[in-house]
Amino acid sequence: MESDHRRDAQEAAARLASAVHTYRRFVEGLAHLEWDPQRYKVAADLFAYMEAEAKRLPAVRLQWLEVLISRFEFTHAWWEARHASKGMDCLAARKGRHLGALERLLSGCAESGGDAQS
């Protein structure tokens, strides 16, 4: 029984790590100010998938919370910079924080047995 639970956690960690790698590429793309609704929707759907996988891994709860908060901050900074054509320094800082939070989540996935290799 514990072996099944551990295997389930490892599989969830591997799925989450894979999704994080893909999502990171979307974050890089969203850091530019052009609006692409399809790209944004795919990134949002992928984020929802990541959230579902993260819920299966109590060991990454804190890392996930950091990702969630940093995503909000990054998205807000992106909208502000896009509409005001200023705040690029803030956007760059928020992007860096969000990418750092994603890296810490990947580390948590690796500790849970998921592949976090880039």
Each residue's pLDDT tens digit, 33-48: 677 788 889 889 999 9
pLDDT tens column, 75-88: 898 888 877 766 78
Please report whether residue 13 resides in a domain.
yes
For residue 102, count CB atoms less than 10 angstroms from its CB and return exposed for 0-12, middle for 13-18, buried for 19 or more: buried
Task: Report the domain count for the chain.
Answer: 1
Does 95 fall in a domain?
yes
Does some domain include residue 76? yes
Name the token pair of 25.
């590429």
Whole-angstrom distance, CA of residue 81 vs CA of residue 31:
10
For residue 89, pLDDT beyond 60? yes
Would you state the pLDDT for residue 114? 59
Domain of residue 99, residue span: 2-111
Q: 103 in a domain, yes or no?
A: yes
Helices 37-55/61-84 angle, 10° precision: 160
Domain annotation covers residue 93: yes
| Percent composition of the chain: helix, strand, coil (DSSP 3-state, to 5) | 85, 0, 15
